[in-house]
Amino acid sequence: MKRYVASRVAWLLVALFGVSVITFGLGVLAPGDPAEIVVERRLNQPPPRDLVDAERRNLGLDRSLPVQYLNWLSNAARGDLGRSWLKSIEVSDALRQRIPRTAVLAFTAAAFSIVIGVPVGVLAATRRNALADHVCRIGALLGASLPSYFLAYVLIFVFAVRLNAVPAFGFGSPAHLVLPAVTLALGPAAVLTRLTRSAVLDVLDEDYVRTAKAKGVRQRTVLYRHVLRNAAIPLLTVSGLSLGHLLGGSLIVEWVFAWPGMGDLAIGAIHDRDYPLIQGFVLFSALVYVVVNFAIDLAYGWLDARTRGAG
Amino acid sequence: MRIRVVVVVLLLVAGAACGGDGGGGSASQGASTTAPAALAFEQQNITVATPGDVFITRDRNLLGMWPDNANICETLVGAGENLQPVPALATRWTLVPPNTFRFELRRDVRFHNGAAFNAEAVQYSMARIVDKRLALTSFVGADSTKVIDEFTVEITPTQPNLRLPEQISHPNFSIVAPGTVPNDKPVCTGPFEFVEYAPNDHLTARRYENYWGEKPKLRQLTFKFIPDQNTRRLALESGDVDGVYFLPPQQAASVKGRPNLKLAPTPPGAAVVLSFNLHTDAPYNLMQDIDLRRALAWSLDPKALADVQWQGTAQAINTVSPPSVLGAIASEIPPITNDLPKATALLDQKGWRVGGDGIREKDGRKLSLVAPAQFDFEPESLQFLQAQARRAGIDLKVEKAADGAAYSSKINSGNWDVDINYWNQNDANPASIVSRLWYGKNTAARIKFTNVGAKFDALVDEALAAPDTAASARKSVDAMKVLLQEQVGAIPLTSFPQIFAFKTSVAGFTAHPSVNLQPWTSTYRTG
């Protein structure tokens, strides 16, 4: 097991190195002169060349690319991700401020998606081809197909503008959490519904389930003790990946709801070509994915003794 | 049973979506001749949604001053309702030849921290402005500001610049209390004082009780940062905010139809202008031919652009600056008339023949023009311009930039023919726009492609050196005549407003023609 963990950690480092190279390369290849952007934002007008040149030196952009990259990498290894070019803040501080907000949204959305997706999937499976099944499947299809920005506006219109039940945007109270979390949850919930339905249907056909039923075990016990536990592995994989995606910052949803999390930070940084922030965001997102995947792998062993043995 | 419950809930939601106005349709929007009664002072709080948090990207150097101006700070000279220079913290200013301005300061003014406003405060503020490089085109330098006595200062730019009083009406030149740094808490003299700033969330200011001028009717003013324009409008419709900044024309139409909301457009201020690349080698040298520039100008119909694309909120213009900053003499510049037959005849005469695809060509070269456009330009307006140019056989290859950086990069590369952008005026300097975009002595990278020559530069020199605002406006108009009529170095198309929208229960807001000098002192709530 130790060897397995060590190899996963080594791959994690390789993945992060690759991400850092790609992120740095994309920043370099992107059109636009960062020094000019910084000065133009400061002056709010087309900037004179001498100030742009001075800013380029100030930002270290006059050095060779390998030197720029190595400087950044060595600092990053010490936890110093640099300073935002346009915001008066350290990148690590910006991430520290935003991560908890995104985490609240991500975990709430993930919880919503499980609370909605799994029971609906079970309902659809146990009422196979009945009206409830058809309604659940159509709902899942809609949930999976609707773009989140469209869904966000529909939810704001219905629940904030028309019903006046929750705030349309913002951050700070549980009520503010409702619409963005539901918007984020419906997509993964739809996937979970479909997956749960198909996993439960598969397990319902297994011999041990038929045996349990034949022995007179109650339907609810069969479902919870035998069916759901065995259907849990694919559900865990999807839930984990969804959580990884949500923790990485849900760019569009955070933007639409003015939720000041990682997604909002990333959009602003991309728009401003604020490379240190973009690099910090991408590194964080990659790290979240790798760590979540790692945790899922470990959880497999807990859920399934066969996996533990193989590991 | 459970399914029935789900169906009922869905029907309720659908009913809510299709039903009547949830925001309370009883408020009237009609133009009332009597001012509605204000709420009690304790209830005079409004929240206005603005685009994303701009302070965070500006080193918080101008917190509450610019671009979201909460009227916390003031400048020595203000920009009046027609962008004319008006007394603010300076009651009077005079030119001390050749290049010094003497400002007599307002007495009995206190900063929000109780400190007295005086010449020392002006010197401190100017030093901060120079240090932060906010005084670029005004040429105020580190040693420019001199204290004469407690209520008199002199400012001598580092090079001749008689536009200084008008330029310092820009909020960049706000006066802050000595010893304070506005990055986290601006301490100024304005009608509102700073309360709090939550990055990416809001900025709040409240009435300053010891304000020297007319006190605001509002008790508290909060700017909520909502980057998405659809969410901003929906937040207004839901009642989460009382007003919104910068509504696109298409959304303005939707707000107009709601009985509990009203629009408050500024007078048209920002100008849509096409500029030409006049100094690059092939293949970006087509616009060096003045007849091609003229033909393109005749092929475009600014009035149709204003009426159709801006839904009547914009107006066709004949100047590159907002007409209000130039005054009545702005009308001396003849408008460019849309004359398609004249455009096609000129192109025929120059040997540009219409090809099979409807695009003209000459000597095997297509009349295709690379036209970068600023990233936030309305796509419909760009398509409209393309369609109009195409009627004359001109292929306008519009390249809408992904963001401001991509736009600047394209312009600074010189690999373009026609620049499509809009420009704002936020100070009282009549020569502001001409000196920023085409003036040969400006060292901005784009100038080496757009400059229209010595005659224009000489007139801008004179506009910058004119002894007063009216004389400067006169010279700016003369420079524009060279730019637009003699050289056809640019095509002004439309001037459009910034559209604010409020609940009908918000009264007294008077929009300013600039983008970000909106005054909030007269605004109040009636319900």
| CB-CB neighbours of B349 under 10 Å | 10
- Which range is least confidently modeled, A202-211, B2-11, B353-362, B479-488? B2-11
Best of B167, B228, B241 to substitute, by most chain A Cβ atoms within 10 angstroms, is B228
**Token pair in block for residue A169:** 């945007």
CA torsion B115→B119→B121→B123, rounded to 10°? -170
**Residue B96: pLDDT over 70:** yes
Separation of alpha carbons B488 and B8, rounded Å: 66
Q: Which of residues 168-187 of A touch B (CB under 8 A)?
A: 168-172
Q: Which band of pLDDT confidence, cut at 50, 70 and 90, is reported for residue B425?
A: confident
Mutate to test the interface with B, among A162, A171, A252 (most CBs of B within 10 A): A162
The answer to whether the peptide bond before residue B97 is cis (omega within 30 degrees of 0) is no
pLDDT band at residue B197 using 50, 70 and 90 as cut-offs: very high
Write down the pLDDT at residue A307. 57
d(Cα B410, Cα B397) in Å, to the nearest integer?
14
Nearest-by-CA chain B residue for A160: B238
Instruction: Check: CB of residue A33 under 8 Å from CB of residue B405.
Output: yes
pLDDT of residue B57: 63
Quick check: A252 and A148 in contact, CB under 8 A?
A: yes
Contacts of A131 in chain B (CB under 8 A): 3
A278-282, B286-290, B370-374, range with the lowest pLDDT? A278-282
Q: Can you give the three-state secondary structure of B455-500, one letter per residue?
A: HHHHHHHHHHHCCCHHHHHHHHHHHHHHHHHHCCCEEEEEEECCEE
Helix (H) or strand (E) holding B147: strand B145-149
Residue A11 has pLDDT above 50, yes or no: yes
pLDDT digits (tens, 9 = 90+) for A139-183: 999 988 999 989 999 999 999 999 999 999 998 899 999 999 999
DSSP one-letter code for B311: T
Contacts of B102 (CB under 8 A, 6+ apart): B93, B94, B95, B96, B148, B152, B153, B154
Which residue among A42, A45, A264 sits closest to B436, beta carbon to beta carbon?
Answer: A45
Domains of chain A: 98-272 (1.10.3720.10)
pLDDT digits (tens, 9 = 90+) for B467-504: 899 999 999 999 999 999 999 999 999 988 889 999 99
Residue A208 has which token pair? 């041990």
Over residues A88-147, the pLDDT tens digits come to 688 999 999 899 999 999 999 999 999 999 999 989 998 888 999 999 999 999 988 999
Q: Is B28 exposed, middle or buried (0-12, 13-18, 19+ CB in 10 A)?
A: exposed
Choose among B274, B518, B277, B251: nearest CA to B410: B277
Chain B positions touching A273 (Cβ under 8 A) are 403, 405
CB contact under 8 A, A273 and B403: yes
Beta-strand relationship, B395-400 and B368-373: parallel
Average of per-residue pLDDT values in chain B: 88
Q: Chain B: residue nearest A31 by CA?
A: B406
Task: Give CA separation, A14 vs A66, A122, A276, B203, in Å.
Answer: 18, 40, 20, 43
Q: Is B395 helix (H, G, I), strand (E, B) or coil?
A: strand
Q: Which residues make beta-bridge pairs with B263?
A: B501
> Could you tell me the CA-to-CA distances from B420 to B277, B360, B370 in Å, in that order?
11, 21, 10
Residue among A27, A43, A95, A125 nearest A249 (CA): A95
Model-level pTM?
0.80
Contacts of B225 in chain A (CB under 8 A): 258
Across B372-391, average pLDDT: 90
pLDDT at A186: 93
Q: Which of A50, A135, A160 sits opposite B234 (nearest CB)?
A: A160
Helix (H, G, I), strand (E, B) or coil at B185: coil
Residues 6+ apart with CB under 8 A from A205: none
DSSP 8-state code for residue A126? H
Q: Helix axis angle, A262-272 relative to A275-303, nearest 10°?
A: 150
What is the tens place of the pLDDT at every residue in B43-69?
999 999 998 787 876 566 788 888 789
Largest CA distance in chain A: 86
Burial class (CB in 10 A: 0-12, 13-18, 19+), A45: middle
Write the DSSP assignment of B41-95 as a string of letters: GGG-EEEEEESS--GGGGTTTTTTTSSS--S----SEEE-TTS-EEESSEEEEEE
What is the pLDDT confidence band of residue B412, given thresholds at 50, 70 and 90? Answer: confident
Interface of B with A in 303-342 (CB under 8 A): none
- How far apart, in Å, are the Cα atoms of A32 and each of A264, B361, B407, B414? 22, 32, 8, 13
Burial of B92 (C-beta count, 10 Å sphere; 0-12/13-18/19+): exposed
Helix (H) or strand (E) holding B145: strand B145-149
Give me the percent of chain B exceeding a pLDDT of 90.
64
Of A46, A258, A270, the CB nearest to B436: A46
- Gap between the Cα atoms of B400 and A5, Å rounded: 49
Q: Which of A161, A257, A273 sits opposite B405 (nearest CB)?
A: A273
pLDDT above 60 for B7: no
- Contact present, A52 and A105 (Cβ < 8 Å): no
**Residue B434 structure tokens:** 């001409």
Residue carrying structure tokens 């036209």: B371
Closest-CA distance, B14 to chain A, in angstroms, reads 8
Q: Which residue has the higher pLDDT, A265 or B207?
A: B207
pLDDT over 70 percentage in chain B: 92
Q: Which neighbouring-strand residues pair with B101?
A: B95, B155
Any A CB within 8 A of B9 CB: no
Q: Does the CB of A90 have a partner CB in chain B at under 8 Å? A: no
Handedness of CA A246, A249, A253, A257 (dihedral sign): positive
pLDDT of B16 above 50: no
Residue of B nearest to A277 (CA): B57
User: Quick check: A153 and B238 CB within 8 A?
Assistant: no
Tell whether the model's pLDDT for residue B441 goes beyond 50: yes
**Is some CB atom of chain B closer than 8 A to the CB atom of A66?**
no
Q: State the pLDDT at residue B32.
A: 42
Say if the Cβ atoms of A88 and B59 lie within 8 Å.
yes
- Among B251, B215, B257, B245, smallest CA distance to B230 is for B251
Mean pLDDT of A23-42: 75
Cα torsion through B178, B184, B186, B191, rounded to 10: -160
Most A-contacting residue of B9, B13, B57, B129 (CB-CB within 10 A), to test interface:
B57
- pLDDT at B148 exceeding the cut of 50: yes
A interface mutation test: which of B10, B48, B54, B56 has the most A CBs within 10 A?
B56
**Which of A34, A46, A87 has the CB atom closest to B57's CB atom?**
A87
Does residue A164 belong to the interface with chain B, where contact is any CB pair within 8 Å? yes
What type of residue sits at position A263?
G
In chain B, which among 257-286 make CB contacts under 8 A with chain A? none
How many angstroms separate the CA atoms of B340 and B484, rounded? 18
Which residues, 6 or more positions from A109, have their beta carbon under 8 angstroms from its beta carbon?
A180, A181, A182, A184, A185, A188, A246, A250
Chain A residues touching B57 at Cβ < 8 A: 41, 86-87, 268, 272
Cβ separation A169–B240 shorter than 8 A = yes
